[in-house]
Amino acid sequence: MDVRFINPFLEATIDVLKTMAFIEPSPGRPYLKNDSLAIGDVSGIIGFTGAATGSMALSFSEACILKIVSNMLGEESKEINGDIKDAVGEITNMVSGAARKKLESLGLSISAAIPTVVAGKGHSVSHIMGGPSIIIPFETEQGPFVVDVCVGEMK
Amino acid sequence: MGSDKNMKILIVDDFATMRKVIKNLLRQIGYQDVIEAEDGVHALKELKSQKIDFVISDWNMPNMTGIELLRAVRADSELSSLPFLMVTAESLKENVVEAVKAGVSNYIVKPFTAEVLNEKIKKIIEKQ
């Protein structure tokens, strides 16, 4: 996988959470993942095409997403419900938009689809290109989340 | 129109959470009179049924997109000068050009802070 694709997603994730949720996540060391089992409790997935075809998922632990959404809405969220899923879709959309803008400045133009959100312990994240995907793990004070990117061959 | 904090703002976004997020940001910068619509169709109904001073609309929505809503607003003699702030998830040049051609007052790229939103609103009001 072309490493030029990884940094824009990493930076976009930090930007979005810092701006919208006042949370500064620390990235860990990226690694390869071969199965489709989600690492978190709720995931937003978005596909893209253009200079490359692939998909990205953001997969949050429950404690982490509850804190993020509480900060975004200015009111406490206590469980993963429709509002949380809605917010995960929107965060996925924003990260994808910000990453695409960064990719565009590198001359890699891609367009994205509408995000889908899946929740529940042990749910799966299926990438359009199959796999493996690169996981960028993040830590926050409330718990972990990951950015899971799978990009196919570039055109 | 005065730049006072009493103006009525309509937020248009198909994501209920994003509407809440923007509402929360508006509250932080002193705007309390906020109503919501889930797409352009519902937004137009609100705009026709009551006096609204400012529109903040998402770009991508089902039924009627933000740009379609903007065109409908500019084509309506009673609404044509309404301040219209477009919210987008990306600042693609072609989108910006399209929005400017359609008469957008300004646009804001997600994610944004309350301060940035405040600046955009102020600039639009000053130009009115």
pLDDT tens, position by position, A106-137? 888 888 888 999 988 878 777 777 778 899 99
Report how many domains make up chain B. 1
- What's the pLDDT tens digit per position in A21-38? 999 999 999 998 877 777
Comparing C-alpha atoms, which of A138, A51, A36, A32 is closest to residue A99? A51
* Chain B residues near residue A69 by CB distance under 8 angstroms: 17
Domain containing B80 equals: 9-127
Residue B31 lies in a domain: yes
* Chain B residues near residue A86 by CB distance under 8 angstroms: 15-18
Question: Could you check whether the bond before residue B83 is cis, i.e. omega within 30 degrees of 0?
Answer: no
- What's the pLDDT tens digit per position in A56-91? 999 999 999 999 999 998 889 999 999 899 999 999
Residue B48 lies in a domain: yes
CATH code reported for the domain at A3-154? 3.40.1550.10
Per-domain residue ranges of chain A: 3-154
Residue B56 lies in a domain: yes
The CATH number linked to B114 is 3.40.50.2300
Q: Which of A87, A96, A104 sits opposite B17 (nearest CB)?
A: A87
Select the residue from B18, B38, B94, B117 to test the A interface by mutation, using most A Cβ atoms within 10 A.
B18
In contact, A147 and A135? CB cutoff 8 Å: yes
What's the token pair of residue A132? 């493996």
- What's the pLDDT tens digit per position in B91-107? 667 788 899 999 999 99
Shortest alpha-carbon distance between residue A135 and chain B (Å): 23
What DSSP character marks residue A122? T
Measure the CA–CA gap between A37 and A65, rounded to whole angstroms: 18
What DSSP character marks residue A127? B
Q: Which pLDDT does position A155 carry in this prediction?
A: 57
Residue B1 lies in a domain: no
User: What torsion do the CA atoms of B124, B42, A91, B123 make, to the nearest 10 degrees?
Assistant: 0
Comparing C-alpha atoms, which of A151, A140, A147 is closest to residue A21? A140
